[in-house]
Structure 1
Amino acid sequence: MLTLSLLRHAKSSWDEPDLPDHERTLSKRGTKAATEIGRYIERNEGRPELILSSDSVRTRATVSLVLAELSGNPPEVVFDEGLYLALPAMILERLRKVKGGQKHVMVVGHNPGLHALALSLTGSGDRKAIQKMAMKFPTAGLAVITFDADDWNAIKPAAGTLKDFIIPRELA
């Protein structure tokens, strides 16, 4: 059994409108949401063994805040420039390259690619959660999808079961 956690970066700040998109930081609301999602992951989802993240400032900050809430040995973290604003096929290709027996991988990234990937991989699960996810994948939203597989190279569209879809507003 494999578990994939897809986490959209937390809300970014627009205080500096001339700042390049890649360099935007988190807003106060985003900082709070990332911390809340980190606590939720610690209590409910278990610690991922590997985190693959876009290398943008806001995804790095989101990862840092989530890690601060996790107990035990920290997971391996890989910041990958190829995940910045990546298309679903690019994210899936990167996932399929995961080796080393990690059974729980988290991807921290951006919409619309992350949202589209979550929808394409989900074939079953709680109908209301799937509908909620289909409508919107907000900042700091977390989709947890499980696969009846032992190798990341074997995951396919519609083969996953949506175990959980959480948005920060529900945790406050």
Structure 2
Amino acid sequence: MKTLALLRHGKSNWDDTSLRDFDRPLNKRGRMASELMGAEMKRRGLVFDVVLASPAERVRETLAHVASGYGQALRPRFVPEIYEASCAILCTILRSVGNDVGHVLMVGHNPGLQQLACLLVKDDALLRSVEMAFPTAALAYLELPDVGWDKLAAGVGHLAAFVAPRTLSPVAVESRAGENL
């Protein structure tokens, strides 16, 4: 079986209106949620052979904080086309992944990630949560048939997990709130 984890970047900072969208950093909540999501990914035993990421600043920072919570570097490959990508472009990128790769983490933006999850997953109860909202720093974890990435098609996947930062332990969130993230 192949797996695809779709991670939306953490909450970004809108304080500096002179910055281009591409250059916006994370805010405190985004940094904290990203680190907690990294810890959750580690707790679940998720592993990744390839990490494909948008080169936007908020994605770069998300990855740094996820890695901190995960406990190891993720070594992303920054793919400019992921920034502001449509679902179709994200599918094209995934179809170009080597068929020997089993586990992919894609880190990027909405609405593309949400649409991709909805396209790839068969209709099930958990999918309703993704259809309603794909919040910042949320993770959709899909199980896919063990065929080549070039065979990626609509409805082939199973949504094994969908985790939003607000569903993580409030105790963990509060215990980290005072840390300088």
TM range (shorter): over 0.9
Counterpart in the other structure of 1:84: 83
1:122 maps onto 2:121 in alignment: yes
Structure 1: gaps spanning 5 or more residues: none
In the TM superposition, residue 76 of structure 1 has moved relative to its aligned partner by 3.9
1:30 maps onto 2:30 in alignment: yes
Which structure shows the higher strand fraction?
1
Q: Indicate if the aligned counterparts of 2:99 and 2:150 stay in contact, CA closer than 8 A.
A: no
Give the SS at the match of 1:92: helix
- Runs of 4+, deviation exceeding 6 Å: none
Distance in 2 between residues matched to 1:27 and 1:75, nearest whole Å = 21
Counterpart residue type for residue 66 of structure 2: V
Which runs of structure 2 are paired with 1:1-172 in the superposition (5 Å)? 1-71=1-71, 74-99=73-98, 101-125=100-124, 127=125, 129-171=126-168, 172=170
Distance in 1 between residues matched to 2:156 and 2:96, nearest whole Å = 18
Distance in 2 between residues matched to 1:75 and 1:103, nearest whole Å = 15
Question: Percent same amino acid among aligned pairs?
Answer: 36
Q: Indicate if the aligned counterparts of 2:63 and 2:74 stay in contact, CA closer than 8 A.
A: no
Structure 2: gaps spanning 5 or more residues: 171-181
Q: Bigger CA drift: 92-101 or 108-117?
A: 92-101
Counterpart in the other structure of 2:178: none
Give the SS at the match of 1:123: coil
Give the SS at the match of 1:137: coil
In the TM superposition, residue 100 of structure 1 has moved relative to its aligned partner by 6.1
Q: Indicate if the aligned counterparts of 1:59 and 1:109 stay in contact, CA closer than 8 A.
A: yes
**Number of residue pairs the alignment of both structures matches:** 169
In the TM superposition, residue 69 of structure 1 has moved relative to its aligned partner by 2.6
Distance in 1 between residues matched to 2:128 and 2:157, nearest whole Å = 15
Distance in 2 between residues matched to 1:160 and 1:4, nearest whole Å = 9
